[in-house]
Amino acid sequence: MKMILALGLVLITTGCVTSTVDEMVFNEPLAGIGDSTVVILGRRHASDYETEPDFIKCVGDHISRRDNSITVINEIDFINSLYPWFEPRTAPLHPEDITRLLEQDPVAQRMLELKTEYMIWVDGVTVQSDSAGSMTCGIGPGGAGCFGFGTWSNDSNYEAVIWDFTDQAEVGRVNTTATGQSYMPAVVVPIPIIAPVQGTACDGIGDQLLEFLSSEY
Amino acid sequence: MRSMTSGPDIRALGVALLLALLAGCGPNTVKVEGNFPAPLMEPIPLTLGVWYPEDFANHEFSDEAKTRSEPSWLVSTGDAQVAMWDTLLAGMFTDMVHMRGEPASGQMNQLVNAVLIPHVDELQYAIPQHTNIKVYEIWMRYRFELVTTSGEPIAEWTMAAYGKTPTAFLRSDQAAVNLAAVMALRDAGANFATSFTRVPDVAAWMDGGQQAIDNPPAEVDQALDAPPETEKAEVDS
DSSP string, A152-169: EEEEEEEEEEEEETTTTE
Lowest mean pLDDT among A180-184, A204-208, B89-93, B107-111: B107-111
Q: In this complex, is the C-beta atom of B149 within 8 Å of any C-beta atom belonging to chain A?
A: no
Q: Tell me which of A44, A78, A83, A197 to substitute to probe the interface with B (most B C-beta atoms closer than 10 Å).
A: A83
How far is the C-alpha of A28 from the C-alpha of A169, rounded, in Å?
Answer: 12
pLDDT at B198 over 80: yes
How far is the C-alpha of A38 from the C-alpha of A69, rounded, in Å?
Answer: 11
Q: In this complex, is the C-beta atom of A131 within 8 Å of any C-beta atom belonging to chain B?
A: no
What is the structure's pLDDT at B25? 58
Question: Could you tell me the strand order of the sheet in which B44-50 lies?
Answer: B93-98, B44-50, B114-126, B135-147, B153-166
Strands B73-76 and B135-147, sheet pairing: unpaired
Q: Which residues on B lie below 8 Å from A81 (Cβ)?
A: 37, 40
Cβ contact, residue pair A106, B41, below 8 Å = yes
pLDDT > 70: what percent of chain A?
91
pLDDT at B110 over 50: yes
Residue type, A147: F
What is the structure's pLDDT at A46? 83
Q: How far, CA to CA in Å, does A2 sit from each of A8, A11, B30?
A: 10, 14, 46
How far is the C-alpha of B85 from the C-alpha of B52, rounded, in Å?
Answer: 10
Quick one: DSSP state of residue A194? B
Q: Tell me which of B130, B138, B159, B186 to substitute to probe the interface with A (most A C-beta atoms closer than 10 Å).
A: B186
Q: Are B60 and B77 in contact (CB under 8 A)?
A: yes
Would you place residue B231 in the very low, low, confident or very high pLDDT band (cuts 50, 70, 90)?
Answer: very low
pLDDT at A53 over 60: yes
Half-sphere exposure of A113 (CA within 13 A, CB side): 9
- State the average pLDDT over residues A174-179: 93
Question: How far does the CA of residue A104 sit from the closest CA of chain B (Å)?
Answer: 7
Strands A116-140 and A17-25, sheet pairing: unpaired
**Tens of pLDDT along B2-35?**
444 444 555 555 555 555 555 555 678 999 999 9
String of b and e for A82-121 (b: at least 16 CB within 10 Å)? bbbbbbbbbbbeebeebeebeeeeebeebbeebebbbbbb
What is the structure's pLDDT at A125? 92
Q: Tell me which of B35, B40, B135, B171 to substitute to probe the interface with A (most A C-beta atoms closer than 10 Å).
A: B40
Instruction: Compare CB distances from A87 to B42, B133, B186 and report the shortest one's residue.
Output: B186
- State the average pLDDT over residues A34-61: 89
Phi/psi at B28 (5° precision): -75, 115
Q: Are B188 and B84 in contact (CB under 8 A)?
A: yes
Q: Which domains does chain A have, with CATH numbers?
A: 18-126+157-175+197-213 (3.40.50.800)
Q: Are A28 and A101 in contact (CB under 8 A)?
A: no
Q: In this complex, is the C-beta atom of A50 within 8 Å of any C-beta atom belonging to chain B?
A: yes
Which of helix, strand or coil describes residue A53?
helix
Cis omega (within 30 of 0) for bond into A196: no
Q: In this complex, is the C-beta atom of B165 within 8 Å of any C-beta atom belonging to chain A?
A: yes
Angle, vertex CA B25, rays to CA B20 and CA B26, nearest 5: 95
Q: Which residues on A lie below 8 Å from B190 (Cβ)?
A: 83-84, 87, 89-90
Q: Which residues on A lie below 8 Å from B175 (Cβ)?
A: none
Instruction: Compare CB distances from B190 to A80, A89, A104 and report the shortest one's residue.
Output: A89
Q: Which residues on A lie below 8 Å from B42 (Cβ)?
A: 104-106
Question: Which stretches within A82-217 are classed as H helix?
Answer: 97-102, 105-114, 197-213
Selection from B186, B144, B178 nearest residue B161 by Cα: B186
How far is the C-alpha of B147 from the C-alpha of A1, rounded, in Å?
Answer: 76
How far is the C-alpha of A111 from the C-alpha of A117, rounded, in Å?
Answer: 9
What is the structure's pLDDT at B169? 64
Taken in order B15, B16, B21, B24, the sign of the CA dihedral is positive
Cβ contact, residue pair A90, B194, below 8 Å = yes
User: How close are the terminal C-alpha atoms of chain B, in Å?
Assistant: 88
What is the structure's pLDDT at B218? 47
**Tens of pLDDT along B32-76?**
999 999 999 999 999 999 999 999 999 998 888 777 777 788 999
How far is the C-alpha of A215 from the C-alpha of A69, rounded, in Å?
Answer: 10
Question: How far does the CA of residue B206 sit from the closest CA of chain A (Å)?
Answer: 20
Query: How many Cβ pairs within 8 Å bridge chains A and B?
Result: 53
Cβ contact, residue pair B186, A83, below 8 Å = yes
Q: In this complex, is the C-beta atom of A103 within 8 Å of any C-beta atom belonging to chain B?
A: no
Q: Which residues on B lie below 8 Å from A83 (Cβ)?
A: 37-40, 186, 189-190
String of b and e for B131-169 (b: at least 16 CB within 10 Å)? eebebbbbbbebebbbbbbebeebbeeebebbbbbbeee
**Tens of pLDDT along A141-168?**
888 899 999 999 999 999 999 998 888 8
What is the structure's pLDDT at A30? 63
Q: In this complex, is the C-beta atom of B65 within 8 Å of any C-beta atom belonging to chain A?
A: no
What is the structure's pLDDT at A117? 87
How far is the C-alpha of A38 from the C-alpha of A206, rounded, in Å?
Answer: 13
Nearest CA in chain A to B133: A48
pLDDT at B122 over 60: yes
Strands B135-147 and B60-63, sheet pairing: unpaired
Cβ contact, residue pair A50, B135, below 8 Å = yes
What is the structure's pLDDT at A179? 93
pLDDT at B236 over 50: no
Cβ contact, residue pair A83, B39, below 8 Å = yes
Q: Which domains does chain B have, with CATH numbers?
A: 81-222 (3.30.160)
Lowest mean pLDDT among A7-21, A33-47, A49-63, A114-128: A7-21
Which of helix, strand or coil describes residue B160?
strand
Q: Is the ipTM of this complex over 0.85?
A: no
Q: Which residues on B lie below 8 Å from A50 (Cβ)?
A: 135, 164-166
CA dihedral A51, A52, A56, A59 (to 10 degrees): -100
Phi/psi at B103 (5° precision): -55, 130
Q: Which residues on B lie below 8 Å from A107 (Cβ)?
A: 40-41
